[in-house]
Amino acid sequence: MVPPEGSVQPLNAGGFTMPFYSPSRATYSILPSLHYTPVTGRIVGAMLTKDELEDRLRRLLGLSGYEARAYLAVLRGVSKPRDIAEEAGIPPQRIYDVLRSLQRRGLIAQMPEGYRATPPTRTLAVEAEKLVLEAAKRAEEVRLLARELEEHVASIAREHVLVGEGLSRALASALAALRECSEKPWLLAYKVAEKAEDLWPVLQHFLEILNVRGARIILYSGVALPRHVLETIAGIPGTEMRASEAVLLDMMVACDTVVIGVPGTGGNVVTVTITNREFAKALKRRLEVLWRSSRPLGKRY
């Protein structure tokens, strides 16, 4: 049965709900509960515009402009190559190469009635896992290189100060220090607490390490951490949390290393990593004082 012009009739393509395409209707479904408005280019119920989605597909998946626009057209239910080319602004003679490329990436599948998108959550999960595996392989190669370089060093500055930029740099510095230190660290959470939701994938690496040794964490009391973050941290053996208004920066102190993240201009973070045993010991004494004056956080928040 042919659906009436202008109606949205869902199809199921491998578990992903897709609509019939109708060029004449004012809005049409892209994903369940989301609708695309051609006039504004905005997906109602979503945060990203059509142009923003295209930009992310190009930046994160490495798609070309043609590929990104064709993929978005197929997501919107356009199935015939000629219609996809017209919708995406692709020269007709190029459309089959573009569609074959998207098929090789597993983003779309050719069906008897035309092209359909594969479930993005599943397909992009594969892309994400590939990135994780590639990053892990490269990270291990860097660690091996570090050990090789140690064999060629005539003298080493055991005590030093390193300055960098970016919150990710601060977290990476703290993670690297934790891997070389077996003691329970001190953690102050300020910007990290504010951005906990966005940083959650990275913070999980932290939690894996803390799960072995625990930590003393002092949170900035002006920020409410997401409940799932608080509950996860609270469930780590040996981890205690308190809150204080005196926390004005991010800091980790473990063994002889201090990693400090200081809010900079434009929302950026300046990272200072100090390797000095006496300085670390002095900070630990001050943190003990701050700990005693902080508000305890129980198991329920």
Contact 107, 65 (CB under 8 A): no
**Does the pLDDT at position 55 exceed 80?**
yes
Tell whether 144 and 165 lie within a shared domain.
Answer: no
| Claim to verify: residue 249 and residue 276 sit in the same structural domain | yes
Residue where a domain stops, chosen among 118, 143, 171: 118
Q: Which of 105, 131, 132 is nearest to 118 (CA)?
A: 105
201 shares its domain with 94: no
CATH number of the domain residue 267 falls in: 3.30.870.10
- 201 and 74 inside one domain: no
112 and 127, same domain (yes or no): no
Ramachandran area for residue 41 (φ above 0: left; ψ -120 to 50: alpha; else beta): left
First-to-final CA distance of the chain: 55
- Residue 147 has a pLDDT of 85
Structural domain for 55, as ranges: 10-118
- Assigned domain for 250 exists: yes
Domain match, 141 and 200 both: no
Asked if 174 and 192 count as a contact pair (C-beta separation under 8 A), the reply is no
Residue at a domain's end among 118, 148, 174: 118
d(CA 162, CA 145): 20
Convert the pLDDT of each residue in 267-277 to its tens digit: 778 889 999 99
Is residue 72 situated within a structural domain? yes
- CB under 8 Å to 105, separation ≥6 — which residues? 61, 63, 123
Looking at the structure, do residues 25 and 89 belong to the same domain, yes or no?
A: yes
Is residue 197 included in any domain, yes or no?
A: yes
Q: Does a structural domain hold residue 5? A: no
pTM: 0.58
pLDDT tens for each residue of 93-133: 999 999 999 999 999 999 998 999 999 988 888 888 888 88
The answer to whether position 1 is within a domain reads no
- Report in angstroms the alpha-carbon separations of 140 from 144, 177, 219: 6, 16, 32
Q: What is the mean pLDDT of the chain?
A: 79
Split into its structural domains, the chain has a count of 3
Distance (Å, whole) CA 205 – CA 273: 19
Q: What is the pLDDT of residue 298?
A: 57
Contacts of 2 (CB under 8 A, 6+ apart): none
Looking at the predicted structure, is the pLDDT value of residue 84 above 90? yes
